[in-house]
Structure 1
């Protein structure tokens, strides 16, 4: 029988449950061009209003995953794991988590993305490192993963191509904010990497795409249940994004923060807790029989994680002495100064999205997809909730390219910080979400 895309659209528009075959044919048609962009837009809008069952979400995720190459790591002698964050400000966890797990005998072929909106992108951070190749060929990607234990790179053209097409259509048709479509988009790319396990960091708070705990939980449960339904052991931690996770926000500044974390020179307490918790949860998903928390802490404290990070950077084209001499390799902004609040007080609330947008205003993020990022700009020494600031204690240190962007970003940052007499307590990791049969 001839496949007619419009019949699938009508069935979903009318609230019917699509079969695995219908979804598979529709996505295959989107990939080979026999389904038009107009039909894909209509399909996305139908899903937006009618949503999808768990079985439909699994089928959509698998169809998008299988629209291109699915990597095979069966030649490796250990488990293969990855991590995904839904995005935040000062969230550089991946930079430490991948080498920590590599030091525990886990392989981490991490396929990461660039910044989206107010959130920083892992690839943009690595672009701060001179020579680092975020788009290696498959042979180099496999060699670095095997020898260094981890390789953090960007999505290649042959991984989940259907997602690229559908996402670009959703982006201009008002159909981004749907949990079914978000789930399939995130997981199709990750599962195409041929993973044995996946740990998810779902952010919640003023700097998250899902600002409330209920919305974060809904997304986390969908991601965990669909990924497990597609055959990949997956769990999620919901983590707080009511303030920047690290004390740095900006690409080179977050790289510096990560290297100081790995060497032990400086470790932000909240960042340390989230990194260790996600690393331990990922290790547990591999069936690790020992004390996962102890193992990941040891990987960090002994310096083994730092060594794996250094090897990865070097093998992907970065300087061989990057960890030891990062200040000579990372570009510094010409304007560096402290930002003070107009009045003294305790940091009672932070519009974390506003902090991220201040980094974008400096040139550290993209206003348009074609924009070139300035890797040197951003903020460090960011004050956290509960910190007391005054005329001698700044809310942050600003790194800017020119006086105009510096003044604008300074105003934005001051507005994002709200002072009072006290600060609320937000649980750092309010929930862990595990797979539930029949969910």
Structure 2
């Protein structure tokens, strides 16, 4: 169906909502690996003074993650105030422009500033995209929709790594930032034309006719503006800290911290951990590829399982499974079996956190949904900062293998325990009834 507008309401093609959100999440995957791919080149001193030192590279990596943390915390709240559509488009625009400027950076200081600001914009992409997809997937498909969306994260990471093999030696390191910015800039006009506003947001803002138009056009149920009592709070964050949601908020935040700590620690240090176990660099890189390949498969399976048995239960089981496989990686075994174990570790560890996002979105009413997912992602980003630092500390002490895997297994177990404390809300019970 052609894109159109009915009294100020964008009515685009229903088939493109999920792909647009998926492409926004690909940008997150790009950011995961782009600086790591460039650091060896930018810190290379073989031809004279390096463009930046290792310490400067570490700081720039960290400040980008700090920006993403702040972006996830701030833009999630803004989304519930200005709408999903504006927040996601604004986040993509900010990230794309700042990444473009990274390609023109004249030194480590300017690169650090641009990376921080790009992170602020990028931090809003994931929670907002998940909030949109959750609502437009209907009550019964939140897990499947969220985990399918997050395959974009790993697709972006793998694509960027492969792109680096082509561009770095031909067009130079600046071309990598241009390659990350241009798709986002091209995506913006399509989003402006096709991306709809949340019917629940329109309803909450006193526009019931517009909300009904969007809901009918996209074939989704129109959720009532207030399902849980805490949704009446004027400030979404205040609602999450109120008695109706506080227990779940703390449980989700602790679980997200554990989940993203594992994701970023493993993506950063798995090859080095395996080298310490005498498997060699070549095999270490293969392990990293298998870990992310397992993540894609795990995401596709986890969402369907979560929709069938419950997102909270699914996430708990996935964290427990991740803990078991992480502990198993500490044991030396035949290389063929180890490949399988690394693949299964990726299946469980990387998709466990996405089930947390899906549970968060599905268990909160529309008025606070994006804020809830944003806070989950924002607190999780703290774990994303701690994970690489913890992995680096263990590797530096020479105890990355086997003790690193034991510690990571404990983190996974803690994530499962924390989420087990969460309880069903009125919204999640309503969604479960709709799925039945």
Shorter chain as denominator, the TM-score bin is under 0.3
Structure with more contact order per residue of length (Cα contacts < 8 Å, sep ≥ 6): 2
TM-score, normalised with respect to structure 2? 0.27
Q: Which has the higher strand share?
A: 1
TM-score, normalised with respect to structure 1? 0.27
Q: Which has the higher helix share?
A: 2
